[in-house]
């Protein structure tokens, strides 16, 4: 069962409950309550890098906070997730709850160190790239390259988190593409790469932004800065007074498809590490031709 909702002030994105409703025993419920309490009480630790897993009897669970948020925001997000999980999935043995700043997952079966790309949620901006450029193919090239750099960068990081940005020029205007990728820290580098690559292939490249949420990883891109730079091994310092806070996810700017479980293909399908892509030289030549064409048009007008 997939429940999709526009986010609230608590930055709730959505959740998925298993189909095993009604099978929870009193022992499992007791273990789950203790597990959720344990996860919540460990969410304010600065030494967890925003990730923590725990096991109580046959209840297995973890939380993953976005690496660029502070320990305080992580704690608040996990507190919301653990307190509302049983309200959203009252009698289920497995559940995933996504918020903008964190993710909570629990199950009656062990799942640590296993990459999971189902269930999933996909979202994209309703704005098209044509509002920036007449031919979005050039930006698609830059975005694909940015994601290709992002995936291994996140997988190799100790905290399995990375950001990547790139600039490009279109119609003599300089733009920047921002991207973020993160995996749960129990994954191997190879599994993290596979998870993020799968997510990246579901992004709608003709849009001005998009994100894919999996139980084991998430990937996102935007045409504006939506994350805080993270340095060293300390968490970022984003807070309610942060100047970029108003750039975060909102129901007006995003669309969660009702069929979020369905694959969202690229408008221009390309595979990482393969496929034809225009070179930088070709793009520069194309841009030069555009300029020359405008000059000739100006001469004719005169």
In degrees and rounded to multiples of 5, residue 112 shows phi and psi of -60, 145
The confidence score (pLDDT) of residue 20 equals 61
The runs of H, that is alpha helices, within the chain are 26-41, 71-88, 137-156, 189-200, 280-301
* CB distance 65 to 102 below 8 Å: yes
- What are the residue boundaries of the structural domains of the chain, listed by start? 2-107, 121-290
Q: Does domain 2-107 have CATH number 3.30.430.20?
A: yes
pLDDT tens, per residue, the chain with 302 residues: 333 333 334 488 999 998 665 566 889 999 999 999 999 999 988 788 899 999 999 999 999 999 999 999 999 999 999 999 999 998 889 999 999 999 999 999 999 999 999 999 999 888 887 777 777 777 788 889 999 999 999 999 999 999 999 998 877 788 899 999 999 999 999 999 999 999 999 987 788 899 999 999 999 999 999 998 876 433 433 333 333 333 333 333 444 443 333 333 222 333 344 333 444 555 556 556 655 655 554 444 44
Q: Model-level pTM greater than 0.85?
A: no
What is the CATH T-level fold of the domain 121-290, as seen in this structure? Killer Toxin P4; Chain A (3.30.430)
- Torsional sign, CA 143, 64, 66, 132: positive
**Shared fold status for 2-107 and 121-290:** yes
């Amino acid at each position: 069962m997939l429940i999709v909702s526009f986010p609230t002030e608590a930055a709730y994105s959505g959740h998925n409950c298993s189909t095993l409703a009604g099978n929870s025993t009193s022992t499992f419920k007791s273990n789950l309550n203790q597990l959720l309490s344990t996860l919540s009480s460990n969410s304010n630790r600065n030494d967890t890098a925003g990730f923590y897993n725990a096991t109580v009897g046959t209840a297995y669970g973890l939380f993953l906070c976005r690496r660029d948020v502070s320990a305080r925001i992580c704690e608040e997000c996990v507190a919301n997730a653990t307190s509302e999980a049983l309200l959203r999935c009252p009698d289920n043995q497995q559940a995933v709850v996504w918020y903008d700043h964190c993710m909570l997952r629990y199950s009656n079966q062990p799942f640590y160190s296993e990459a999971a790309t189902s269930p999933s949620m996909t979202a994209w901006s309703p704005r098209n790239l044509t509002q920036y450029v007449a031919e979005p193919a050039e930006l698609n090239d830059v975005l694909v390259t940015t994601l290709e750099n992002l995936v291994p960068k996140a997988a190799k990081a100790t905290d399995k988190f990375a950001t990547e940005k790139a600039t490009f020029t279109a119609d003599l205007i300089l733009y920047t593409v921002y991207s973020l990728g993160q995996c749960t820290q129990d994954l191997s580098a190879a599994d993290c790469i596979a998870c993020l690559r799968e997510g990246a292939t579901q992004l709608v490249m003709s849009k001005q932004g998009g994100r894919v949420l999996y139980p084991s990883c998430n990937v996102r891109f935007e045409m504006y800065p939506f994350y805080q730079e993270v340095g060293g091994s300390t968490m970022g310092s984003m807070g309610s007074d942060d100047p970029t806070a108003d750039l975060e996810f909102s129901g007006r700017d995003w669309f969660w498809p009702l069929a979020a479980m369905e694959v969202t293909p690229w408008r221009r399908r390309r595979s990482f590490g393969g496929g034809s892509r225009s070179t930088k030289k070709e793009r520069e030549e194309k841009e030069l031709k555009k300029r020359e064409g405008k000059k000739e048009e100006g001469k004719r007008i005169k």
